[in-house]
Structure 1
Amino acid sequence: MIIDTHFHAFPAKFLDMVPEASKGDPRGVGFHSFTYEEYIGHLDGYGIDIGVLSNPAGGVEVGFNRKRALDLAVLCNDAYAEYCSRYPERLKWFARIPLVHMDDALTELHRCMKDLGAHGVVLPTNIGGEKSLDDPEYRPFWAEATRYDVPIFLHPHNALCHPRWHKYSLQQKLNWPADSTLALSRLVLSGIFDRHPQLKLIGAHLGGMTLMYLDRLNWWEGNPECAGTPEDYFKKIYYDIAGPVRAAAIRFVCDTVGTDQVLFGGDYPHGRGGRDDQFYPMALKAMAELDLPFEDKEKIFYKNALRIFRF
């Protein structure tokens, strides 16, 4: 069995309202909408049993337009609920919560969890390219979201960065994992796991570069809001393997945090196609080459997801 926890879906109406998402730009990646049948065909083609839909597009909050952000989030969440009602055994979904106005964020969170049956929450690693998820204004959201005991998935989003990042597609290649590193580090150092010890947090793409620098994070002073060492908290985070990946990188994460904290992800639709350098074949090849016992590979492929999502 394989559960893909990093599987993107972009409703056509969403792309109409956020044209920069479908066209792409020097700092981002273009997205396209697909039919229900194409989603299921993709899962079948790669032997995936369940795909967990998410919309990571940070365009929801860009400009901090309250009405637009809420409209986009509602549109996405309604579409996901419909997708999953058609294929309940194959598709699950993360709710996209708009973090422009807290009243709207909490209302949409409760609607998705109580009325629509969402299985988790997806957020961009920064809000509107300007704000950080550890900012005090978002604390009511974290308090309410953790009460539902569902995974909260952080996906990298374009940050407002220096134009030097734009050349050679370095925005996607390096700034995205850098923004994941920054977002996860700020949340950990803000003491979020002390306030919400039950938090189920997922870091995309192996969590950026955080795990490579645990010793540096532990050593450096300036963590007054954490009761423990940063390493203690990073070992509570879940990490997916989505994106261009090799077996050695997955093994490093497994050795650092344990196989109980690692999830399979393919980054659809970026993994479409049959080329060996596409994301899905790379992830499956890396898993095949991974020098781990069969039982540990089962955890990564599906058992960890079943445990934290409670499908």
Structure 2
Amino acid sequence: MKIITVEEHYESAKITQAINQSVGKAAAPNLSPDMLHYMRTSLPTPEIMQDFTDQRLTFMAHYGIDQQVLSYGNSSPQNLAPALAIPLCRQANDELAQVVAANPTRFGALAALPVGDPAAAAAELKRAITELHFNGVLLKGNYQGKFFDNAFFFPIFKMASDLDVPIYFHPSFIPNDITQHYFASAGWSDVVTGIFSSAGYGWHMDVGIQVMRMIISGIFDKLPNLKLISGYWGELVPQFLERLDDELDAYAGLKHSFSDYYRQNVYVTPSGILSQPQLNFILAEMGPEHLIYSIDYPYKQPANTRTFLDNTALTSAQLEAFSHGNAERVFHLK
């Protein structure tokens, strides 16, 4: 069985050093000392994030992964001020292109874009696809409190639609006031608050809302070819498709039902949450043509990376689509 995973991360020592020199390590979100300590001790080391041979290829070989689609990790230059983001995103994409060129059958690539300047971001996306032969783009969180449905960002999505490449929406830290309102309590530690508000739940809620806002904004009526990828089994949204139809369709002024856009324009991946009940539910809601496999390496390295696929109740055609066929089609992988 051929396996392609599409939400697999890397970082560049040169880019991280440039970011730290330009804006300082304090550019991270407002996190408590305990949460910063948790992140330093629990997240993958820089060596693992920057590795493209030893540990990464060993992991891939162990679980039978034929190809990873690589995208930038937590220290992405995406949200820096444009004067910094434009050259650093270009440099990051050039470095990743060299990695893919060295292992063209093992890796694909998603571009990092300087979203604070949408015209420059659209131009960099075009360069990444047409010159560097990338397979799409990953957008992380939001930019200065603006969700990506804001008309300010439209040139990015127009370019992705024109080039027929997908945009992967990835979670990131949420504003501190929202963290304090929903996730903090005197009854638990700052580390629990930090995890609860980020990887535990909060940033999945946030990026799920991002996808819903894209639909409600009407962008898919303007760009019907636009494709979004949503990880972590759709970031909580598929469970509410019928409810969203019932409550929004009469008022949103869209040509189709909310769920029609979601099932047509959104593709869902597990991001390493390898749960059979969730797979069965998403299959029923989305259909087999909109499921794509992903692991979230190296943040996640599930022991059932391969056996999850071996033990599904999918038909052979559904399994082929999930494990590699849909990725090849949507990301134009060779």
Aligned partners of 1:250 and 1:48: how far apart in 2?
A: 19
Which of residues 316, 322, 325 in structure 2 aligns to 1:303? 325
Match of 2:218 in 1: 191
Aligned partners of 1:156 and 1:286: how far apart in 2?
A: 24
- Using the TM superposition, give the Cα deviation of residue 245 of structure 1 relative to its aligned residue in structure 2, in angstroms: 3.0
- Using the TM superposition, give the Cα deviation of residue 22 of structure 1 relative to its aligned residue in structure 2, in angstroms: 12
Q: Say whether the 8 Å CA contact 1:56–1:155 is kept in structure 2.
A: no
- Using the TM superposition, give the Cα deviation of residue 173 of structure 1 relative to its aligned residue in structure 2, in angstroms: 0.7
Distance 1:56 1:135, change over 3 A: farther
Aligned partners of 2:15 and 2:27: how far apart in 1?
A: 9
Aligned partners of 1:35 and 1:295: how far apart in 2?
A: 34
Match of 1:132 in 2: 147
Match of 1:277 in 2: none
1:229 matched to 2:244: no
- Using the TM superposition, give the Cα deviation of residue 156 of structure 1 relative to its aligned residue in structure 2, in angstroms: 0.8
Counterparts of 1:31-110 in structure 2 under 5 Å?
A: 31=44, 32=46, 33-38=49-54, 39-57=56-74, 60-62=77-79, 64-110=80-126
- Using the TM superposition, give the Cα deviation of residue 21 of structure 1 relative to its aligned residue in structure 2, in angstroms: 10
Q: Say whether the 8 Å CA contact 1:271–1:281 is kept in structure 2.
A: no
1:173 matched to 2:211: no
Post-superposition Cα deviations, 1:90-119, rounded to whole Å, max 9, x if no partner, equal 111001111001232122112212221111
Distance 1:241 1:23, change over 3 A: same
Q: Say whether the 8 Å CA contact 1:259–1:299 is kept in structure 2.
A: yes
The aligned length equals: 302
Structure whose CA Rg is larger: 2
Distance 1:269 1:23, change over 3 A: farther
Paired residue type of 2:59 = H
TM-score (norm 2): 0.83
Match of 1:276 in 2: none
Distance 1:22 1:46, change over 3 A: farther
TM-score (norm 1): 0.89
Q: Secondary structure at the match of 1:162?
A: helix
Aligned partners of 1:12 and 1:212: how far apart in 2?
A: 39
Any stretches of 5+ residues in structure 2 without a counterpart? Answer: 185-189
Q: Say whether the 8 Å CA contact 1:247–1:287 is kept in structure 2.
A: no
Any stretches of 5+ residues in structure 1 without a counterpart? Answer: 273-279
1:246 matched to 2:275: yes
Indicate the larger mover: 219-228 or 43-52.
219-228
Indicate the larger mover: 215-224 or 133-142.
215-224
Distance 1:61 1:95, change over 3 A: closer
Match of 1:156 in 2: 171
Q: Secondary structure at the match of 2:200?
A: helix
Distance 1:262 1:181, change over 3 A: same
1:10 matched to 2:11: yes
- Using the TM superposition, give the Cα deviation of residue 264 of structure 1 relative to its aligned residue in structure 2, in angstroms: 0.5
Indicate the larger mover: 193-202 or 84-93.
193-202
Q: Secondary structure at the match of 1:197?
A: coil
Paired residue type of 1:40 = L
Distance 1:309 1:144, change over 3 A: same
